[in-house]
Amino acid sequence: MSRGLPKQKPIEGVKQVLVLASGKGGVGKSTTAVNIALALAANDSTKSVGLLDADVYGPSIPRMMHLKGNPELTSQNLMRPLKNYGIECMSMGFLVEETAPVVWRGLMVMSAIEKLLRQVEWGQLDYLVIDMPPGTGDVQLSVSQNIPIAGAVIVSTPQDIALLDARKGAEMFRKVHVPVLGLVQNMSVFQCPKCKHETHIFGTDGVRDLAKTLGLDVLGDIPLDVNIRKTCDTGQPIVVSQPQSDMAKAYLRIAMEIIRRLPTPPG
């Protein structure tokens, strides 16, 4: 797979790129990406953070980050990211109507990804978090092969079906020489808000078992909690709207674990 790869070209102004990926859809990857981007900024106010929604067919970042509108163009014909909560954001969702389906073939998707990577005026960013679409297809390969990526984080629930695809995602990044920083076990446990009884709806510690098999670390666990879902649905992610909650603190710890594992940026 390394034969004949395009030469990687950094994104101007971006020091480090972090990708969040999952093999399976519906495991909470976008929710995790949003809250980790916010947690990276919250952990160190001197760091500037951007968030790129690479899911062309199902962009979630505009709603989760409470952003609407079309990006303005600079004099160099570059798109300016939309900004909220201190995070610079770019998404296909800013370029099409929220309810409009993107009915494109692969070449058009690749062209859109190229524009989102290269035709955006990011300014100076310490971290650009890329929310990847599910799977191990064209978009994942295009992003991985065209820009230098400091590290990938794999998000999965403990469910066996999700873990099968999470493993494929981790193996794909290894094949294209992207360091996998670790795994996040999402929706790890549900605690009844009334009686506090805990139920492992999707199984127990499946991500930890996979991490051992792959020789990777688990960066942290995120519970299945209604407030995480509600806050993202309303465009007020839990890291900014409920920063003292246990859930927000879990994202902050994961962000710290990610920073510890990232290589020292050049320059």
In a domain? residue 4? no
**Any idea how long the chain is?**
267
Q: Can you say whether residue 244 is alpha, beta or left, with left for phi > 0 and alpha for psi between -120 and 50 degrees?
A: alpha
How many domains does the chain contain in total?
Answer: 1
pTM here is 0.92
Residue 267 falls inside a structural domain: no
Assigned domain for 78 exists:
yes
- Assess if residue 7 is contained within a domain: no
Encode pLDDT of 83-124 as tens digits: 999 999 999 889 877 666 666 666 777 788 888 888 999 999
Per residue of the chain (267 residues), what is the pLDDT tens digit? 445 556 789 999 999 999 999 877 889 999 999 999 999 999 999 999 999 998 887 789 999 999 999 999 999 999 999 999 999 999 988 987 766 666 666 677 778 888 888 899 999 999 999 999 887 777 888 888 889 999 999 999 999 899 999 999 999 999 989 999 999 999 988 888 888 888 988 888 899 999 999 999 999 999 999 999 999 999 999 999 999 999 999 999 999 999 999 988 776
Domain assignment present for residue 100? The answer is yes
CATH number, domain of 136, equals 3.40.50.300
Structural domain boundaries enclosing 53? 14-261
The helix (H) or strand (E) run that includes residue 127 is strand 125-131
- 105 occurs within a structural domain: yes
| Residue range 8-23, pLDDT digits in tens | 899 999 999 999 998 7
Cα 69 from chain centre: 22
Residue 5 inside a domain? The answer is no
| DSSP symbols for 66-95 | T--SPPPB-TTSPBPPEEETTEEEEEGGGT
Q: Report the SS3 class of residue 155.
A: strand
